[in-house]
Amino acid sequence: MSAIAGGYPIGRIEIIGCFAVFIYHCLASMWLASNSSHNLDIWLHSNIAPSEYVNGAKYDQSDIEWFLHKTVLLKLIILFSIHSVVFRASHYFYALAQNLTRIALIVFWSAITIYITSIECFSIVIIHATATIIISTYLRKEILAWISCISFVVYASKYMYFSPEIENFYVEYTFYLYTAIQILNVCIYLCRNPTTALDLPLVLSAYEYLLYPMYSMTLIVLFDDFKKQVELVRQRAQEGSVWQGEVNQKFLIIRAARLFATFVLVEVFLHMIHATAIMISPFSVLEGLNGYEIASVAYMSGQFFYLKYVVIFGMPSFFALVDGMSPPGPPVCISRVSKYSQMWRYFDRGLYEFLKRQVYIPVMGEAKGIKLELRRFGAMVGVFVFVLTWHGFKSNYLMWVCLSAFEIMMERAGAFISNTKPWKDFERAVGPAWALRVTAVAMDLTIVPGLLGVFYFLAQVGTGDEIMKRLLIDGFAGLYNGEAGWGTPGGVVIHMLTLGYFYNHCCLYLEHVNHPRLQKVKTE
């Protein structure tokens, strides 16, 4: 059997077969989720509304974040377009009067922020930023900044000012959360560089960072990375072009077209599949669905979540690219990842960089041996505690974090085994292709907790428990009792695990294509 070019050990026909099986099941899950969710519309009436586009059609309006984002999307596009023109024009004055140009930009960004939030919201953030930065400058104690900013995140929704206008409320909420992370990043920079003085250029950089519209409401970029990006943009502007690398007019037009197409796809999705409405409904709604329908609805809710964030992250990212900046990349599709450490790394890339550089690496330190393993575990706990603080300590988020942590430990166990002599001897004996097949089987131990964790994250409290019970607990209980027929809980779990094998092969191949330098196996 000929192997696919690029040194992958599995043959072309086998890989195509794996993709065919997976794609067929994706299409089947779309059909099942659409049928089952429409059959439940009578129980979902509070979350289903008449379509704005098609008379007589129904629309899933249950995702509050998407609903609020749509209300403000056009306003943001117009403002960001105006901003890009002004930002580009500012480069012509920067060489003549650097500080004055930067101050003018800060005033302009302040006006934009006040317009899309409120003077009260803007004032609260500026006061919090100024006070926390001054304290960090004089005391250089990172823990004080963490306490200040994490407390702000935890209590923002309860005690901070919010406008009665719904579109302003949404932007204010995101502005509070993301600027708290930015303030923390500035303070960490000061504390880790104790000899750095808080002079005028650094003060201007800090407020540029806090108020640059594309990074103050959705995308997370570290302070020192922002400084480098702005300096490079201004340097390139003096040379004739703010864009770098592959970014040009054609690239931006294609990116804008893809964003628009994704927006349309999300709207079509919400007409066809009402999976989100089911996931946030009381778990008793699931009682009318069989195992395949539950799995399909849960999977489709994950697909909607991915598409939603392609748009939510993509719009400010697009305008940052127009400005010549280097925003975090787009989220990875959940249908191409079976190692959920990669989901953490590539879905919200800005959050990952923050967690890695501000939490994980500092906690890890430079320990060795057993101390290293203990520090690694402590760093993982620290990361997940921050994630829980960010999202809230509800039971479904707690289960999501616990399952994610378990999945990552399974990945580490697999990585450890793959470096042992018995495994290498086994790989030499059976060949890299069969070793890869065994790996695909073993990776069901990562995909099961990973997927269940995502379902908990996306679902209402109690719904994730019901999904786990119906798909996993009842399934293995049925197998124990000898029930493995088609449609039985035991049969469904066997089907899902078998599908996981083909899915894992697809993900491993895509990982090989995207990161060929990581692959050290030989062609069969």
Residue 180 sits in the same domain as residue 295: no
- Please identify, among 239, 269, 300, the residue that sits at the C-terminal boundary of a domain: 239
Per-residue pLDDT of the chain (524 residues; tens, 9 = 90+): 344 545 788 889 999 999 999 999 999 999 999 998 888 888 887 888 898 899 988 999 999 999 999 999 999 999 999 999 999 999 889 888 999 999 999 999 999 999 999 999 999 999 999 999 999 999 999 999 999 999 999 888 888 999 998 888 999 999 999 999 999 999 999 999 999 999 999 999 999 999 999 999 889 999 999 999 999 999 988 888 878 778 889 999 999 999 999 999 999 999 999 999 999 888 888 888 898 999 999 999 999 999 999 999 999 999 999 999 999 999 988 888 888 888 888 888 999 999 999 998 888 877 777 787 788 888 888 888 999 988 888 899 999 999 999 999 999 899 889 899 999 999 999 999 999 999 999 999 999 998 899 999 998 888 889 999 988 998 889 888 888 778 788 899 999 999 999 999 999 998 888 764 433 333 33
Could you tell me if residue 157 is inside a domain? yes
Residue 54 sits in the same domain as residue 69: no
pLDDT at 524: 30
Contact criterion met (CB below 8 Å) for 25 and 292: no
Residue 373 sits in the same domain as residue 436: yes
Could you tell me if residue 2 is inside a domain? no
Residue 317 sits in the same domain as residue 171: no
Could you tell me if residue 266 is inside a domain? yes
Could you tell me if residue 448 is inside a domain? yes
Instruction: Write out the two tokens for 347.
Output: 């879905």
pLDDT at 208: 96
Specify the pTM.
0.90
The answer for 171, left when phi > 0, alpha when psi is -120 to 50, beta otherwise, is alpha
Q: What's the rounded Cα separation, in Å, for the pair 55 and 416?
A: 57
Domain encompassing residue 502: 12-58+255-518
pLDDT at 233: 92
- Please identify, among 239, 269, 288, the residue that sits at the C-terminal boundary of a domain: 239
- DSSP β-bridge partners for residue 457: none
Could you tell me if residue 135 is inside a domain? yes
pLDDT at 241: 80
Could you tell me if residue 250 is inside a domain? no
Residue 147 sits in the same domain as residue 287: no
Q: What's the rounded Cα separation, in Å, for the pair 311 and 267?
A: 11
**Number of domains within the chain:** 2
Output the furthest CA–CA distance in the chain (Å, rounded): 81
Residue 332 sits in the same domain as residue 223: no
Report which secondary-structure segment, H or E, holds 423: helix 421-430
Residue 121 sits in the same domain as residue 263: no
pLDDT at 515: 63
Residue 273 sits in the same domain as residue 392: yes
Residue 409 sits in the same domain as residue 502: yes
Could you tell me if residue 249 is inside a domain? no
Residue 422 sits in the same domain as residue 292: yes
- Please identify, among 210, 239, 268, the residue that sits at the C-terminal boundary of a domain: 239
Amino acid at 346: Y
Could you tell me if residue 5 is inside a domain? no
Residue 53 sits in the same domain as residue 184: no
Return the SS3 of 317. Answer: helix
Residue 216 sits in the same domain as residue 88: yes
Q: What's the rounded Cα separation, in Å, for the pair 327 and 316?
A: 9
